[in-house]
Chain A
């Protein structure tokens, strides 16, 4: 009985944590694999060694960096799903499209410097995620449920609602 309790969520999380520490001890085995194989820039996923890459000289170079970043993010998705125990709430392809849509949000940006800055922030975020600096509900709240918040009214009746009624439900002052 004591040795084989039913798998509670807390237990499952700690189990995944164990596996994470296990793998992260093996630096080459887990971390270097998805990144170093294709990344030309020196991306290392420990905070201490995050370095600001040199500026992109052209839009093309910045674009290439974006694709590199997307690839590295996609490669870390299986690990992320594992450490945060996301298998029962989301699929890998859903997460990939979330990452893609996050990137596409900034598709209007053409200044390479700005793209570099956004890339840096993206990398920082990815770093934080794979480092397990976040908790499960952060990931679910930010990338699985979406930015609209947990309370989503999916009532189809609301679609035909006038602006007046929508404002009325929000507040008295409009």
Chain B
């Protein structure tokens, strides 16, 4: 927020100010600050100092003029700034490069204007104005640095600190607290308050958010976040005056998949992270900017670690993907990284127990078995958290052994990897905001991809977009029309017999979102052709708009399909003699023959370990550098934040080492080497932070002769909080699913 800059600026100017009057700052308030006229008069006789060069916009704020006629000019501290009509005074100041202190204002929430911290002086206005709530008018002369504005801020700080406890030394927000910073920068050095501070009863918001309500300054950011972004009406304001407090109206937990974000937006330590409470101080943490892999969105996160331990995960701003929010699963899954970890290579002995061995022995055993079985009996499955490099290596290894039975879990039988539009979110996550009609086919975005759901909710709130849903009954946090539960309804819409058809027909930018849970259905090609029929008559795919979307479930899926991890035969797992599971815990292992040799390479002792013969420990996403492609086709990279656990190795290194032990050495020794191999298969996986759109549309799709089955769609995610090996090992996620999913 640039508060350091802000503070230094203030200190600098105050030094100049005090030198004007005397060397010692008087305790009493200065008479010339009492009335704005006097201060103006005092300032007037001075010679106008040469104005410093115009400042850069705060935090890279940009102005986007939709219509050049709407531009107006205002003056901030004497500098002219061009801004679009309708911007507030605070936004104009930001563009002029002046950061206004604020507590209640948040750029992604509605304006409350109740903290009064952002008061500035506007010429010809009788009193200071709250800049966050005042629209900028043409020719307005805004003064942010005058004695009047300073006095106003000082007064507001004094009032805020009146009832704020002095427990900064034991407060988890300490060091990153807006109130702390701004009271240092703008507050008075003493208060006049002598009575007893008020205290407020703490609220129980569930296992994620810790509340110390006495610290609350009633900025209502959390209330606005809950009602506007998260779409739950759980939080609200109770009481009036000094009895005013934030709370749930009745004894109730906050049941939102985005509830953790109130921790970030709370400017004080009233709402803090419960799992992080008293664990670390923010200045002793090392931040690593990386991405999340617990769903297919690829939210941008920062992993704060201390030594070898991940202490917390917080969001990073990315307007195209997660804005500045992350889901609770992303934020709180990190304690799973400390439990159930595999740290040594292990071989299952004759007694059925695992015995820790050296890497040398483990690889030798695996290689020996792999070379004994027939090539067509070798099967490899990549897990949902696999990075692109290791999937490339796995595919190369198995292909070199003569097998082509390698796939990524969740892509179902005979996935269609030839046409990228069939597995990507073609309109992109940010592009969903342009849509005015949504048709959700067999997908529950709220649990499958909470950030995509937040985007849909944002669109619905902003433009009253209509949402139709086909699938099992589920909860939405926006208005949604439940059209039906299965392919029957889809067919009706495709054939134009349904009332929703006209909604799609008259929509400007209709968007269809198909859930990746349908990949598991046998009749998925027929369903896709029905969806494409809707897309055709609804003009969903046009040169300027592509609204045909697939919402993937797992972080590895898009990259796996780009790399061509497509199995040769559908029931290869039933005839497998050598099964290589690279972090695959959600494959059905019931059909695996009893004499098959199962290798599990992964970081958690999860479901598949029960069947494994050999365990090869690998690194989790916080410990390795890996490429991931999200559901919209945007390639991003994780960076190692903490060292690996025990004797674990990076995934691709294990496969590369195994290939050498087995005598079919893969031709890459470094991450660069394996990436240049990836370039020959899927060059888009090397272009970081770029969306690679699908080239071809449905015009190329083959004719479908499949019969559509009428069994209703099933939910793809049963428990939002526990979807992969990390979250299943997490205690916090277990608490969440026990407490929040009860009803």
Contacts and interface: CB of A to CB of B under 8 A. Distances in A.
Interface in A132-154: none
Interface string A154-174: 000000011111001100110
Contacts of B665: 162
A142 B359 CA distance: 28
Contacts of B650: 172
Contacts of A161: 660
Contacts of B592: none
B360 A169 contact: yes
Nearest to B654: A168
A123 B292 CA distance: 63
Contacts of A164: 656-657, 660, 669
Nearest to A155: B360
A168 B648 contact: no
A164 B655 CA distance: 12
Interface in B637-687: 643-644, 648-650, 653, 656-657, 660-661, 665, 669
Contacts of B660: 161-162, 164-165
A172 B618 CA distance: 10
B619 interface: yes
Given A161-B660, A162-B660, A172 B360 contact: no
A168 B665 CA distance: 14
A170 to B, nearest CB: 9
A85 B657 CA distance: 45
A156 to B, nearest CB: 14
A109 B447 CA distance: 72
B359 A168 contact: yes
Given A161-B660, A164-B669, A165-B661, A172 B359 contact: no
A164 B657 CA distance: 8
A161 B660 CA distance: 8
A168 B644 contact: no
A59 B619 CA distance: 57
Which bracket fits the contact residues of A?
Answer: under 10
Point out which of A161, A163, A172, A173 has the most chain B C-beta atoms below 10 A from its C-beta. A172
Nearest to A153: B360
Contacts of A168: 359, 649, 653, 656-657
B641 to A, nearest CB: 14
A161 B665 CA distance: 10
Nearest to B673: A164
A162 B359 contact: no
A165 B657 contact: yes
Contact of B653 (A162, A163, A172): A172
B661 A172 contact: no
A172 B657 contact: no
Nearest to A163: B669
Contacts of B619: 172
A173 B670 CA distance: 11
Contacts of B657: 164-165, 168-169
A77 to B, nearest CB: 38
Contact of A172 (B358, B649, B669): B649
A29 B186 CA distance: 92
A159 to B, nearest CB: 13
A164 B359 CA distance: 14
A163 B657 CA distance: 11
A137 B619 CA distance: 40
A163 B661 CA distance: 13
A163 B670 CA distance: 12
Contacts of A163: 669
Contacts of B644: 172
Nearest to A170: B359
Contacts of A172: 619, 644, 648-650, 653
B472 to A, nearest CB: 44
Interface string A112-137: 00000000000000000000000000
Point out which of A161, A165, A173 has the most chain B C-beta atoms below 10 A from its C-beta. A165
Contacts of B656: 164, 168
B397 to A, nearest CB: 14
A21 B657 CA distance: 57
Contacts of B669: 162-164
Contacts of B648: 172
A165 B644 CA distance: 18
Contacts of A173: 643
Interface in A18-72: none
B345 to A, nearest CB: 11
A163 B649 CA distance: 16
A109 B467 CA distance: 84
Contacts of B653: 168, 172
B629 to A, nearest CB: 24
Nearest to B661: A165
A171 B643 CA distance: 11
B437 to A, nearest CB: 50
A100 to B, nearest CB: 34
10 contacts: A164-B657, A164-B669, A165-B660, A168-B653, A169-B657, A172-B619, A172-B644, A172-B649, A172-B650, A172-B653
- 10 closest pairs, A vs B, by CB? A168-B657, A164-B669, A172-B649, A165-B660, A172-B644, A169-B359, A165-B657, A168-B653, A169-B360, A162-B660
Interface of B: 358-360, 619, 643-644, 648-650, 653, 656-657, 660-661, 665, 669
Given A162-B665, A164-B669, A173-B643, 17 more contacts: A161-B660, A162-B660, A164-B660, A165-B657, A165-B660, A165-B661, A168-B649, A168-B653, A168-B657, A169-B358, A169-B359, A169-B360, A172-B619, A172-B648, A172-B649, A172-B650, A172-B653
